[in-house]
Amino acid sequence: MKILKFGEIKFSPLIWKECIVKNSELKTAEEIYEYFCEQSDRLAWCKGIIVNVPNKRVRHLINGYVLFDILEWCGRIKLVKFKMWQLFEDLVGEILREILRTKDECSVIHVDRLPGFKGLDYVITNSEKKDGWCVGIQCKRYIGSALPKCRLEDFGSYSRGVSASRLYEKGVELHQRFPKKKFVLAAFNAFRGDKRQEQRFQKLKRSWDCVMVFDKNVDVKYPYEYKISLPELKKIIEWC
């Protein structure tokens, strides 16, 4: 596996908070990076990490998340304070703030659990618009596509919440509640195993204005390879 260089890695705020909690063994970027390098020989299943994103800081933030994703995926670290889905949600927020950094009229606001914003994690406000915000973002660490709509209620809330069938319905509901807004579904992975599951995933694009999946690799066989590109960011900037 090709090892990332230390200067190519940055951490989002929640990753730093995870690192500095009392029970964490790795408290500095150097310690985390050195540990990652030590473990690399045992990570032979991971073929490589390709992050094809022009913005340097965004690219480095994704590298930092991928480092944690690899170590957590293969059981080399145990998160103390946060879950990986929370780290991904935080990563998305940092990326949005970075790409809109030069737009003084725009701000990225975390609205999860705020009244009136059910189904959204972030909204992007625009001070030049009369109605305040223009784009809503829902984050999912991964999208599962195996559950058909008729069997959703047979599974737990977590499985339902990440299923393509339920997320399609959520996109429809958001457009009904906010007909003039744009909505983005952001995920790190989307699991598609056959044609029927692929169809469920593709259907999401009918109810969301943008489905942004970070990792374009759909082959989950060993060795695994991260293939990350985010052309959808240009569309979000245009909307804002």
User: What's the number of domains the chain is made of?
Assistant: 1
Q: Which amino acid is at 99?
A: I
**Does a structural domain hold residue 73?**
yes
**Does a structural domain hold residue 1?**
no
Task: Please list the pLDDT of the chain residue by residue as tens digits (240 residues).
Answer: 567 888 899 999 998 888 877 666 777 788 888 888 877 777 666 777 888 999 999 999 999 999 888 888 777 778 888 999 999 999 999 999 999 999 989 999 999 989 989 899 999 999 887 678 999 999 999 898 765 666 556 555 555 667 888 899 999 999 999 999 999 999 999 887 788 888 888 999 999 999 999 998 877 665 578 899 999 999 999 998
**Does a structural domain hold residue 92?**
yes
The answer to whether the beta carbons of residues 185 and 211 sit under 8 Å apart is: yes
Residue with tokens 């950094």: 101
Q: How far apart are CA 137 and CA 45, in angstroms?
A: 33
Q: How far apart are CA 33 and CA 5, in angstroms?
A: 9
Helix, coil or strand: residue 47: strand
The answer to pTM > 0.75 is yes
**Does a structural domain hold residue 97?**
yes
Q: How far apart are CA 88 and CA 30, in angstroms?
A: 21
**Does a structural domain hold residue 159?**
yes
**Does a structural domain hold residue 222?**
yes
Antiparallel, parallel or unpaired: β 122-126 and 106-110? antiparallel
Q: How far apart are CA 138 and CA 40, in angstroms?
A: 33
**Does a structural domain hold residue 152?**
yes
* Residue 60: C-alpha distances to residues 12, 49, 78, 95 (Å): 10, 12, 22, 10
What is residue 22's predicted lDDT score, i.e. its pLDDT?
65
What is residue 74's predicted lDDT score, i.e. its pLDDT?
76
**Does a structural domain hold residue 155?**
yes
The tokens for 35 are 């540990």
| Range of the structural domain that residue 148 is part of | 6-239
